Amino acid sequence: MEEIHKKILQRNRTNLVTDLNPSSLYDGLLEKGVFTQDMIDEIKSAGTRRDQARKLVQDLESRGSRAFPILLLCLEESGQHSLTELLQRGAPAVQIQPATPNQVDLPVVRPLPLSVCTDVEQQGKDTVPIYPIQKPSPTLSPSPEREYTITRPPGRIRRDSIQSYKMDASPCGHCLIINNVEFEPESQLSSRKGSNIDCDKLEKRFKALNFIVEVRTNLKQKQITHALSALSKKDHSQCDCCVVIMLSHGTEVSHNRFPGAVYGVDGQHVPVQRITNYLNGQHCPSLQGKPKLFFIQACGGDERDTGFEVSPGEFEPSIGGADDQTDAIPLSSSSDSLSMSDEVDARATLPTPSDILVSYSTFPGYVSWRDTQSGSWYVETLDQVLEENAATDDLVTMLMMVNHEVSQNSAKGLYKQMPGSFNFLRKLLHFQTHA
């Protein structure tokens, strides 16, 4: 960091420690490369908000020349405008310079749109070449938008031009299943009867798909993060894919990419966004360019979907019965199992690393149902669809099948469920099968 910027931080440290909300900056500082996830975790472990703010300011001084302008940007993005103005007083103008553009023959990766049912044909639109155009007159203020434009080559993008991920390594990759069933009394979370059935199905299924499967049961929050960290530190260079499956209760958290969080058995949660970060290209280089798949069996909120009327014959008779439960936080003193719910929030605002797919058992905001005898609707359907269709269909198509099948179920003859995915894969994904 420039010496003048260090002095500004030191001069205003008291105000920063008093007023700064560090938790609103973590995601931005992580995304923009100022801190790594381990560094963020260390700052969070400092203690109170003031302690975290003090350590964040101290650590910023050692994070390079762009740390100060990025701090200002993150403060603005998080609405802490008074602190931005405070740090800019008496300081030279600060501007973050745009990164040098790539050579003209390199593609720009663009994520697919967020949707519950992702259209396979849309995947052909994820890479477009970037061509430089004439720079504006020197009298104009330069900006990336004026200097460069993204244009498509002439001709229609065809579905048959979509490539497929390489998926022929043996083993294909690692699969980590975290199955939280028995929660500590202090967590005030109920046991998840039927989850072991889900776990057994998925363990057998992904072994059949030629994955090395590791099952971890009843993990606390820190044990979950340690398991994910250990997975990220494995050498995946000889593998083609990586899978993480979370079976637990869920909750709503603030985020900028993937909604929701899952609970450890101690009642402390881990955001889905943080779960995915362990395997992104920055933290796990040996998985760069390879598909990272996350399957989340947890509720999406306390809303209960009663569905809507459809024409006769459009749906098959629904299923579900008295043993249906939600993967849930107790929100009511009612003895009815419908008083239990998980929560997931639903905002995604920042660019997402490519080659990641997160499949949720339910739409953000709604509960996810689990039968104590046969397991969750989502996992039961996912397992069946993989068994019957993995030899012929790609993953996104199969997840649409899961969406359709689960949407026909009903709990207690009334409540519905709608799974969905955040899909940032760039290619088609076909699992290995022995068919």
Catalytic residues: 249, 299
Write out the E strands in 298-341: 324-326, 329-330, 340-341
The answer for residues whose C-beta is within 8 angstroms of residue 248's C-beta and 6 or more apart is: 178, 179, 180, 192, 262, 263, 264, 297, 298, 327
CB atoms within 10 A of CB 283: 19
Which structure tokens are listed for 389?
């269709």
Between CA 382 and CA 198 the distance in angstroms is 10
| Tokens standing for residue 344 | 């997931």
- Run of H or E including 202: helix 195-208
Residues 422 and 348: beta-carbon distance below 8 Å: yes
> Do 257 and 352 meet the contact criterion of CB atoms below 8 Å apart?
yes
- How much of the chain is helix, strand and coil, in % rounded to 5? 35, 20, 50
CA neighbours within 13 Å on the CB side: how many for 243?
25
DSSP 51-118: HHHHHHHHHHTTS-TTHHHHHHHHHHHTT-HHHHHHHHTTS----PPPPPPPPTTSEEE-PPPPBSS-
Distance, CA of 420 to CA of 379 (rounded, Å): 13
d(CA 243, CA 203): 11
Ordered strands of the 261-263 beta sheet: 250-251, 261-263, 269-271
Burial 252-271 (b: 16+ CB within 10 A, else e): bbebbbbbbbbbbbbbebbb
Q: Which two tokens stand for residue 60?
A: 């910023």
* Phi, psi for 217 (deg, rounded to 5): -120, 140
In the numeric block, the tokens 């900028």 are attached to: 256
